[in-house]
Chains A and B, each alone.
Chain A
C-alpha cells in the first residue's frame, strides 16, 4: 500500500468539501478519480502532497503521516512526487526550459549539462520541441499543460498526481499524454493518481477508477466494474446521461 486516505474531512468556512473520504492507492497502479465539478477531487490531491491539511482523518504516503510532517519531511516527500496542475501553474517569469529545470536544480550532484539534457528529454517526451527559450505567455493552453507535465516528470518521481491532465487538449495530444502516462507506469513503475472528466482517457490509462461524490467515495473498482456499474449516479456520470439521476436526492 503506498497512499492511504482514511476518513479525511476538509471544510472551507461553512462548506464541507470532504466528508469522511477514504481511499487506498496501491504501489505501481494508476487510479483515476472521477466526480462532478466541486466534488473535492483537486482538494484530495493537495492533501496527498501536503499542500492542504485535513481537518480530521489521516493521509499516509509510504506509511508516513503527511498531516504530521514538518517542512523538511514534506520537502523529502515532494522529491518523490510530481504534480501536474490543472492550469499548468508555470512560472511566468521563466522560460519553459527554466520551468522544467526547477525541480532538477534541487537535486544535488546534477551538473548543468545533465540538467540541460534531462530538460530536453522531458520536453521531447511531451512532444514539445524548440520551446526551451519561450515564455509561457507565448504558448497555447495545451502546450502549457504539456510543459507542466514535463516539469512534473523531470525529477523521475515515484508518484505522479495529475489534475485534469487532458482537459482542453486536442484528441491527438490527449493520446500522447495517455501513452506517456501508461509508459511512466509500465517502464518506471510510477504510481499515478489522475483526476479526470474524460472517461475515454480514464478507461485507457486506469487500473482502477474511483468516484467521489458529496465528499465521500461513491464507487471504486476496476475499469470494467465502473463501466458496468448499476449505481445510477455512476452510470449518469460515466455515460454522460443526467436523466439517470432524475428522482435521486
Chain B
C-alpha cells in the first residue's frame, strides 16, 4: 500500500510526466504539420471549405458577442466618465477597448468553444473509428489532409472575424450613445478618432492570428490524440475548450507585454 505522504508527490510526478508527454506530442504534431505544408495537392482543395466552416459560419456568434459588448461598453463608459470628463471619451473608450482587447479576446474565446470544440470532436471521432488510420492506408498524410487546412483556415479567417466583430462592437456603441445617452454622432466620432492609432489595428490582427493558430492547433492536437470511444471524444472536446481558453488569455497578456 502506498504511504499517504507519497500520494501528493506521485500526483505531482504524474502531472509533470503528462505535461512533458503532451508537450512532446504537441511539438511532434506541429513539426509534422509544418512538414506537411509541402503536400499542397492534399490540403489546398479543402481550404475553402474550412475557411467557410471556421470563418463565415462563426460570424453570427461573433456579431452577437460584439453587439452586446459594444452596448455595455458605451453604457459603462458613460456611467464612469462623470464630472469634468468630456462626453466624447465614451467614443474613445469604446473604440480603444474593442480594438485592443475585447474584440480579439471575446471573439477568440467564443471561437474556442465553437471552432476548437468542433475540430476536436470531428478529428476525435475519426480517430476512434479508425478513419485517420484509413487515410494513412490510402497513402494520405493525415496531417496534410486534416490538420493543415484547418490551421491555415484558422490563421486566415480569425483576423477577418475579429475585424468584423470590432466594427460591429464600435457601431453598437455608437448607436447606443446616440439612442440611450443623448450623445451626438460627431461627439462619439471625435472621441473615436482622438486617440486612434493605426498600430492598434495591427496589434488586434497579430493577436487574432495567434488565437486562430492556438484554437485550431489545440483542437487538432486533442482530436488527433483521442482515445477510448465516445467518452474520449468528450474529453478531447472539453480539454480543447479549457486549454484554448487558458492559452488565449496567456497570449493576450504576452502580446500586451511585448508589443504595447
- Which residues of B are interface residues toward A (Cβ below 8 A)? 35, 126, 129-131, 133-141
Contact = CB atoms under 8 A, between A and B. Distances in A.
Nearest to B45: A105
B131 A103 contact: no
Contacts of B130: 85-87, 89
Contacts, number: 52
**Interface size bracket, A side:** 20 to 34
A102 B141 contact: no
Contact of A91 (B131, B136, B139): B131
A75 interface: yes
Nearest to A108: B41
For the complex of A and B, list the 9 residue pairs with the smallest distance between their C-beta atoms, beginning with the closest: A89-B130, A83-B137, A89-B134, A103-B138, A78-B139, A106-B139, A75-B139, A102-B138, A79-B139
Nearest to B143: A71
Overall SS of chain B's interface: helix
B138 A89 contact: no
B134 A83 contact: yes
Contacts of B133: 46, 51, 85, 89
Contacts of A106: 138-140
Contact of A92 (B131, B137, B140): B131
A91 B146 CA distance: 12
A98 B106 CA distance: 39
Contacts of A87: 129-130
7 contacts: A51-B136, A71-B141, A82-B137, A86-B130, A87-B129, A89-B129, A91-B126
A78 B138 contact: yes
Nearest to A75: B139
A106 B131 CA distance: 17
Given A87-B129, A89-B129, A78 B134 contact: no
Interface in A59-111: 71, 74-75, 78-79, 81-83, 85-87, 89-92, 102-103, 106
Which of B131, B135, B141 lies at the interface centre, i.e. has the most chain A CB atoms within 10 A of its CB?
B131
Contact of B137 (A51, A86, A90): A51
Contact of B141 (A49, A75, A82, A86): A75
A103 B139 contact: yes
Contacts of A74: 136
Contacts of A79: 139
B137 A49 contact: yes
Contacts of B136: 49-51, 74, 78
Contacts of B139: 75, 78-79, 103, 106
B130 to A, nearest CB: 4
Nearest to A103: B138
A43 to B, nearest CB: 12
A89 B141 CA distance: 16
Contacts of B141: 71, 75
Nearest to B35: A71
A27 to B, nearest CB: 20
Contacts of A102: 135, 138, 140
B122 to A, nearest CB: 8
A106 B139 CA distance: 7
Nearest to B136: A51
Contacts of A75: 139, 141
A71 B14 CA distance: 32
A231 B13 CA distance: 48
A85 B134 contact: yes
Contacts of A46: 133
Nearest to B138: A103
Contacts of A85: 130, 133-134
A85 B129 CA distance: 10
Nearest to A52: B133
A75 B137 CA distance: 8
Nearest to A80: B139
Contacts of A86: 130
A67 to B, nearest CB: 15
A8 B130 CA distance: 23
Interface in A193-210: none
Contacts of A89: 129-131, 133-134
